[in-house]
Structure 1
């Protein structure tokens, strides 16, 4: 029993720390941080109340259960808004999106201490929670009937879960609209983890429907173990742990090597005063055979996975995929391929555009085909096209038709 309480307490502590840190974090997207903090805080409340009814504290259970009830109903909407907001890089909720929190008004009204003729039996509430979980309450806990917890809340969870998956699956058909690299990995990871916990929470309902015996405390232990295992996993994924859970690193900001369009290999360290001093240059020692092998691997992964179609694909993403230092990638592309990274990847994009244009020109615009080819803006496309072919697209195709 002590080890079980320790497990639950540890999980509670981590959830509370993450939720508080995200809520007050100054880095990252403030809107997304707050939405994610509400999700963690609601999960913290669920596990905390499970600890309280196991400890046989009806008064504490009454206070915390009523306090966290509005968060339980807000969490599904926050989950949906977090995913959609992340995919669209939203900084603020639109007016219509605030309607998602209308269902939260019901539990707020529900937990107001009305002078009801029938007083809540919190010993009975604790017993029902301990035996069958949160979606099994048949005891009165406020103004509305127990169906608020046992029917309305599960429907809310299922509805928002389905809506979120529909949004993501639709976007999968338009990969150019999905976030790239670390962002895509995080959002898919988060979606799967959240789906697992939401379905796990609904599992007791299925068991009760089919009259399958179960012990609710096992589900609590499984929840806590799964959360701690996932936390350990994220510790080995720095861009998840520090980029989205702790928000200690802003992955959307480009490093100095990414901000330059030339991706130079050696960066001189300039003195602050006008007196010239020796320039420190980072030396790269690679054998000719290594250069050839790296160049082959870089070209192969770029062509095989068509990484150039990703709008925001950067040299740091390429280095991560090949498990190579960034400066090695840049050095190989400059020396062995003979181009800087930006011109090299744009060359692939222009080539893709030239292959797709004859097929799609009668259906969609030049700019739309350029976007499919990986170009993020029209200006970048036209500059890259002229650099590769010597002509603007209209003049180029007019010349080709003339031949």
Structure 2
């Protein structure tokens, strides 16, 4: 056995297509995760969770990149430091799917149980984290360069932490299996709600995105299983994160394809020649007024009356709504009315009202107007919606 410096000098630095590809995945993953975490509204709990999941993946991928290239020899005390985060991968994907499909927020108070395996594993490995660098260098050599001479270690070294570390791979596989089952079960339950969850103006709806995300999780599991069967240590981890780069790249393409950046209205508004820029009323001002004053509940609500309330012109208010929502005034107001009607249709306080009466209560002047707007925005009739909610 040699001293640490002599052994570390023998570790080669490896740069090839694999290392470049993984580093590309790290860069894209960090970029997309930061965009999601910094730009996503607090109300959009699902994609904030997805942002955290991508960040976790990127951190783990960085660890794999350092080990694969040999650069870990410059910071050997970080070897295996991201293992607890691996146990957060499957739960984070499941919680994303759960939030996206159920529209329920994730809170630490209610969902702390999903963090328990990761926290417990971290606590079990504190002894390893406190070990001298020689132990961590030998652990790395054992996984990647078993032919290189090991480092001299203290004679009284305690390896009791290995009882769980040696089974870490099976913990990962068990975690993936458990959360794949939960995700698939959730998708099957929400399969009948696909039309309800589909956004009117998106190319990829929530149900399909959730389904594809869960299938990606399944593919991850199968790849991990194959790698674990063929490699005794961490030497095959780079194959997993080649696949991770592909998944992150696809995610980036999907998010970009849904971005307003590629819409014609972003490049050149159809109202460019008007006095649009000289006005001071924003879409947020309009939304705030409509929501705060329950303007949409008025059957007399019109573009003209809204413009008068905001002391502006009908043409200008129409421009703002159309430019920032891609909706005309009627669809813009009806969105609020439909959301209110969905709540009232399943609220016991309104059970004494007929479906037509509930439509009238949220501003629709006739039964046909209510039914047509409801089917346009929800994709099913009010009666079918009530039946579906009761069966759930």
Q: TM-score, normalised by structure 2?
A: 0.56
- Quick check: 1:80–1:161 contact (8 Å CA) kept in 2? yes
Give the one of 168, 172, 189 matched to 1:153.
Answer: 172
Give the one of 285, 292, 296 matched to 1:260.
Answer: 296
Alignment pair present for 1:202 and 2:219: no
Query: Where does 1:94-109 land on structure 2 (aligned, <5 Å)?
Result: 95=109, 97-109=111-123
The size of the alignment, in residue pairs, is: 299
Residue in 2 that maps onto 1:227: 248
User: What is the rounded CA distance, in whole Å, between the counterparts of 1:160 and 1:109 in structure 2?
Assistant: 22
Residue in 1 that maps onto 2:213: 193
Q: Please state whether the residue corresponding to 1:281 is helix, strand or coil.
A: helix
Deviation larger for 201-210 or 69-78? 201-210
Residue in 1 that maps onto 2:139: 122
User: What is the rounded CA distance, in whole Å, between the counterparts of 2:260 and 2:143 in structure 1?
Assistant: 40
- Quick check: 1:16–1:40 contact (8 Å CA) kept in 2? yes
Residue in 2 that maps onto 1:171: 190
- Quick check: 2:28–2:252 contact (8 Å CA) kept in 1? no
- Quick check: 2:60–2:85 contact (8 Å CA) kept in 1? no
User: What is the rounded CA distance, in whole Å, between the counterparts of 2:184 and 2:349 in structure 1?
Assistant: 26
Alignment deviations for residues 304-362 of structure 1 (CA, whole Å, 9 cap, x no partner): xxxxxxxxxxx99xxx9xxxx6339869xxxxxxxx9589989xx9xxxxxxxxxxxxx
User: What is the rounded CA distance, in whole Å, between the counterparts of 1:94 and 1:236 in structure 2?
Assistant: 32
Change (3 A) 1:155 1:166: same
Residue in 2 that maps onto 1:237: 258
User: What is the rounded CA distance, in whole Å, between the counterparts of 1:388 and 1:81 in structure 2?
Assistant: 41
Q: Please state whether the residue corresponding to 1:27 is helix, strand or coil.
A: coil
Measure how far apart 1:155 and its partner are.
0.7
Which structure has more RCO (C-alpha within 8 Å, separation ≥ 6)?
2
Measure how far apart 1:178 and its partner are.
4.8
Give the one of 73, 77, 99 matched to 2:91.
Answer: 77
Measure how far apart 1:283 and its partner are.
12
User: What is the rounded CA distance, in whole Å, between the counterparts of 2:142 and 2:201 in structure 1?
Assistant: 43
- Quick check: 1:58–1:122 contact (8 Å CA) kept in 2? no
Consecutive unaligned residues of structure 1, counting only runs of 5 or more, are 130-139, 242-249, 285-314, 332-339, 350-366, 390-403
Give the one of 33, 52, 72 matched to 2:66.
Answer: 52
Change (3 A) 1:125 1:269: farther
- Quick check: 1:38–1:71 contact (8 Å CA) kept in 2? no
User: What is the rounded CA distance, in whole Å, between the counterparts of 2:337 and 2:140 in structure 1?
Assistant: 69
Residue in 2 that maps onto 1:353: none
Residue in 2 that maps onto 1:244: none
Change (3 A) 1:234 1:345: closer
Alignment deviations for residues 149-182 of structure 1 (CA, whole Å, 9 cap, x no partner): 2111111111011112102211224568857557
Change (3 A) 1:208 1:153: closer
- Quick check: 1:234–1:240 contact (8 Å CA) kept in 2? no
- Quick check: 1:8–1:51 contact (8 Å CA) kept in 2? yes
Residue in 1 that maps onto 2:328: 327
- Quick check: 1:264–1:330 contact (8 Å CA) kept in 2? no
User: What is the rounded CA distance, in whole Å, between the counterparts of 2:247 and 2:77 in structure 1?
Assistant: 27
Change (3 A) 1:181 1:152: farther
Measure how far apart 1:147 and its partner are.
3.9
Residue in 2 that maps onto 1:247: none
Alignment deviations for residues 53-95 of structure 1 (CA, whole Å, 9 cap, x no partner): 2221344675445432222112222222232233333345374
Change (3 A) 1:326 1:29: closer
- Quick check: 1:265–1:330 contact (8 Å CA) kept in 2? no
- Quick check: 1:266–1:283 contact (8 Å CA) kept in 2? no
User: What is the rounded CA distance, in whole Å, between the counterparts of 2:55 and 2:123 in structure 1?
Assistant: 20
